[in-house]
Chain A
Amino acid sequence: MDYLTEFFQNIGDTLSYMASLSVGMLDGVKYTVGLFFITILFSIPLGLCLTLLRNSKITALRGVTGFYVWIMRGTPLLLQLFFFYFGLPNLPFVGDYLILGRFQAACLTFVLNYAAYFCEIFRGGILSVDAGQYEAAQVLGFGKWQTNLKIVFPQMLKVCLPSISNECITLVKDTALITAISVTEILYFAKAAVNRDTNATAYVVAAVFYLVMTYGLTKLFNWLERRFHF
């Protein structure tokens, strides 16, 4: 009987410990979620602009965007984060004007980095749109922008949705990187709790936070894919 009481007592203690950890981490969620939404909000339109430049008739524009994508995809996100936070202020002459807050630096890095990935995702989607669609739009009197907005983008989006979903889920997990520049997001609190209590439970709690967010995103994109089925 004593053993059983002790067993339940232990479970109760663990749960209340986890609950107290969660309360602390909830405070970090605002940075995780904030970074996620800011990145999505700005990197998708920026990625789309980059795609249009990448498909431009002007060779120089194609070259510049190609170079940009190469740099942003070709170097570690963590390195870029360090560069924008620690590196920019050390640049000669302009450095003094480029001192960013931790979260600002994180947002800037993520937007610029994810825009490069979205650029390539959208480029693939645009390539998948049949040439006949452009011809039909032209003979029906569509302008270039009308063709893009009303004919090409919706079809591109359908093709791109699975890749966008993938990218969004990666983004949720990548937000944990900003703990490296001491933004107090979820993993920052977890790490602090583990060090303080010499107990790894906080990592499990943090994992649950990420799983809940990625689960929600998975469901959202499944729904979107069904809606965009034509």
Chain B
Amino acid sequence: MHMIEVTNLKKSFGSDVILEGVSFSVEKGQTVSVIGPSGAGKSTMLRCLIDLESANDGTILIEGQPLLQNGTYPHERQRRAICAKMGMVFQNFNLFPHLSVKRNLMIAPLNSKTLSPQQASEKADALLKKVGLDGKQNAMPSELSGGQKQRVAIARALMMNPDVLLFDEPTSALDPQLTGEVLAVIKELAQEHMTMIVVTHEMGFAREVSDKILFMGDKRILEEGTPDEIFHHPHDPRITEFVSKIL
């Protein structure tokens, strides 16, 4: 069974077609990077996977369970249950500004009652240590740098023990000097075999960390392969052009 299997995913906003039949799969423990020019539909595709956008057609299976089956969504309850297995990290962090760092981490497991307050507190401390922010428990998000905010956001997503983590351009809102600290955390997760899909413009990161790269362009996946195949032996001339411009 694939961790995630997407078949013929289609999405349009009104008459504006964004995705024209996207298919791919992700195996357990894989890190998959999604690269390609702006407007290719990368973020929209990722948002469809976690139900932040509703697709128009296609099938999305998460651990074998249908979030979308031939263009039909199941009942709200089941949609939520399926998406609960995934976590997401946003470009703009989306931390809760009125809560301290530690409360940001604890609120979701306390809400869903998956952890007791004691367990949530211990887990929050452990995860903050993991992302290098031990001691920032009581800081407010407004007191943190962009890189620190994004590391808190990653820790917050990990609090729910997701089977899959989705990253939507996690470093695009950061200064170049701060991207490194965030990418280091994602690399560490990759080494621990967390299943991840990362939409990114960081080509160096994608080449180094990914097990598989999806190259999106023109509303579909133009090519998928290992970093070596995509960066050094692409079949599609558009990839050659994109890669030569970026690197």
Contact = CB atoms under 8 A, between A and B. Distances in A.
Q: Indicate, yes or no, whether A interacts with B.
A: yes
Interface of A: 130, 132-133, 135-136, 138-142, 146, 150-151, 154-155, 158, 230
Given A141-B84, A141-B160, A230-B140, A136 B111 contact: no
Contacts of A230: 97-98, 140, 142
A136 B108 CA distance: 10
Nearest to B103: A150
A91 B153 CA distance: 60
5 contacts: A132-B90, A135-B90, A136-B95, A139-B50, A139-B86
A158 B86 CA distance: 31
Contacts of B94: 130, 132-133, 135-136
Given A139-B86, A139-B88, A155 B52 contact: no
Contacts, number: 51
Contacts of A130: 94
Interface in B55-114: 80, 83-84, 86-88, 90, 92, 94-98, 107-108, 111-112
B111 to A, nearest CB: 5
Contacts of A139: 50, 52, 83, 86-88, 157
A150 B90 contact: no
A136 B96 contact: yes
A141 B111 contact: yes
A150 B84 CA distance: 19
Interface of B: 50-52, 80, 83-84, 86-88, 90, 92, 94-98, 107-108, 111-112, 140, 142, 156-157, 160
A188 to B, nearest CB: 43
A179 B96 CA distance: 47
A92 B86 CA distance: 61
Which residue, of A136, A139, A141, has the highest number of chain B Cβ atoms within 10 A?
A139
Contacts of A155: 97-98
Contacts of A135: 52, 88, 90, 94
Nearest to B111: A146
A158 B160 contact: no
Contacts of A151: 96
Nearest to B153: A136
A151 B95 CA distance: 10
